[in-house]
Amino acid sequence: MPAILVVAEIRDGTPTASTRELLGLAGSLGVTVIAVVFTPSADAVAGVKAHGAERVYWYEREEEDYDGELWVAVTEQVARDTAAAAILASHTAAGADLAPRLAFRLQSAVATGCTGIVSEEGKLLFTRACYGGNVRETLSFPALPAVATVKAGVGVPKAEAARAGEVIRVTPPEFARRTRVVAREREAADSQALEDAKIIVAGGRGLEGPEGFRVLEGLAEVLGAAVGSSRVPCDLGWCPHSWQIGLTGKTVTPELYFAIGISGAAHHMAGCGNARTIVAINTDPEAAIFKGAHYGIVGDYRKVVPALVAALKEPDKS
C-alpha cells in the first residue's frame, strides 16, 4: 500500500502546529501515513504517532533544528526505503529548503506552498498559489514520488489516543558535509507567538511610520493579540522582519485578523487569507483589503484604533 511520508518538525519536544496539520491532511488522503522525525525526545515521537503517523522513522539527535544536508539525506533514504508515494513538509524555512532538494534527488518534482492537496481517483492533486497569490495552479506528478510543501492552516489536526504505531530507528546516511550552522539567533518569544496567535493586529504601509505600530500595540494589548506586518514596513525597518506576514513571510490562521493600513495586495493575503475573520481599517474605501475582509472601517487608524481600544475596554453590555 502506498504511503505518504510526512517530514515532521519538532519544537520544544512537541510536533509544531503545522506538522500536526500536515499529519491530519495526509490522513485525509486515504493512504498510510508515515513520518520522519529528528529529535532527542521519545515524547515528540509519540506526539507524531498520536497525530496520525502509523510508522515513525526516528533519527535520534540532540538538535531539533533543521540541518539541510542531514535532513535531506535522511529523508531521501527513508523515502527510498519505504517507496513513499509522496513526501510532504510544512512550508517553513525548513520545508521550503528540503522539498526542492529532495525532489531533484528523487528525480521527481515538487509543488511548493500548497493550499490544498486532494486525491482524485488515486491521483494526488496539489493546488498552490502563484502570481503573488492572485492565481492558483493545480499540479500532478507522473514521476513518483511527488514532493510538496504545505502552507499553515491547510490541514486539520487529528489528535487520537496514543496509537500503537511502530517506531523505526534510522541509521545515519553517509554524506559529505559541506555546510555548517555556526550560529543561530532567535528573536524574543513574541515572534513565534504570531503563528499560534488567536488574534493578530497587523499594520502596513498606511501606518506611515514606525510609530504607527505603537498605536497597534495598544489594541493588541487589550485583546491579548500578537502584532504583525505586511512586507513594506519590514523592508523600511519600521518593525522586525520576523513580523512579516505574506507570501514570503509567515502564513497565519488566527480567529481574528486586523489589517490596518494594509492595501490588501494578493501577496499579503496569501499569508492571512485563511484567518476566520478579517477586519480592515483603511482610509481608502477602494482598497483591495475590503474585498478580502469581513468587516471594514473606512477611516484614519490614528482615530479608529484608539476609539476601538476605548470601546473594547468598556464592559460588555450585550
Partner 1 sequence: MHLVVCVKQVPNPEAAFSMLTVDEHAKKVIPAGGLQLVMSPFDEQAVEAALRVRESIGEAKITVVSVGPDSARNVLKHALAMGADEALLIADEALEDAASEATALVLSRAIRNLGTVDLVLTGRQAADWDAGIVGCGIAELLGLPVVTFARKVEVTGPRARVERVLADGFETIEADLPAVVTISNELGAARKPTLRETMRAARKPLTVKSASELGLMPAEIGRFSARRVRERLYVPVRSGRCEIIPGADEAAQALELARRLRSARLV
Touching partner 1, residues 254-283 (CB under 8 A): 255-256, 266-267, 276-277, 279-280
Nearer to partner 1 among residue 25 and residue 129 (C-beta): 129
- Work out which of 19, 112, 263, 274 binds partner 1, going by CB under 8 A: 112
Window 77-96: residues binding partner 1 (CB under 8 A): 92-93, 96
Q: At what angle do helices 68-82 and 95-105 cross, to 10 degrees?
A: 50
| Type of residue found at 225 | A
Instruction: Identify the residue among 58, 71, 213, 290 touching partner 1 (CB under 8 A).
Output: 290
Binding flag, residue 38, partner 1 (CB under 8 A): no
Shortest Cβ 143–partner 1 spacing (Å) = 5
Q: In this structure, are strands 10-11 and 14-15 parallel, antiparallel, or unpaired?
A: antiparallel
Q: Is 29 left (phi over 0), alpha (psi -120 to 50) or beta?
A: alpha
Of the listed pieces 20-28, 29-37, 205-213, 302-310, which binds partner 1 according to CB under 8 A?
302-310
Least CB distance to partner 1 at residue 127 (A): 8
What is the closest distance, in whole angstroms, from the C-beta atom of residue 17 to partner 1 in the complex? 12
The verdict on 220 binding partner 1 (CB under 8 A) reads no
Task: Compute the distance between CA of residue 245 and CA of residue 117 in angstroms, rounded to an integer.
Answer: 23
How near is the Cβ of 161 to partner 1 at its closest, in Å?
Answer: 29
List the alpha helices (DSSP H) in 32-109: 42-50, 68-82, 95-105
Sign of the CA dihedral running 91, 53, 155, 204: negative
Residues 114-153 that bind partner 1 (CB under 8 A): 125, 127, 129-143
Q: Does 54 bind partner 1 (CB under 8 A)?
A: no
In the complex, minimum distance from the CB of residue 270 to partner 1, in angstroms, rounded to a whole number: 8
DSSP one-letter string for 5-45: EEE--EETTEE-HHHHHHHHHHHTTTSEEEEEEEES-HHHH
Q: Which is nearer to partner 1, 161 or 188 (CB)?
A: 188
Residue found under cell 529529535: 39
Q: Residue 245 corresponds to which cell in the numbers above?
A: 506576514
Angstrom distance (rounded) from CA 252 to CA 23: 18
Closest-CA residue to 114 (of 153, 157, 148) = 148
Residues 152-211 that bind partner 1 (CB under 8 A): 178-187, 191-192, 195, 199
Q: Whose Cβ is closer to partner 1: residue 46's or residue 288's?
A: 288
For residues 112 and 129, the answer to whether their CB atoms sit within 8 Å is no
Residue 6 or 109: the one with the smaller Cβ distance to partner 1 is 109
The interface region with partner 1, picked from 45-53, 78-86, 162-170, 235-243 by CB under 8 A, is: 235-243
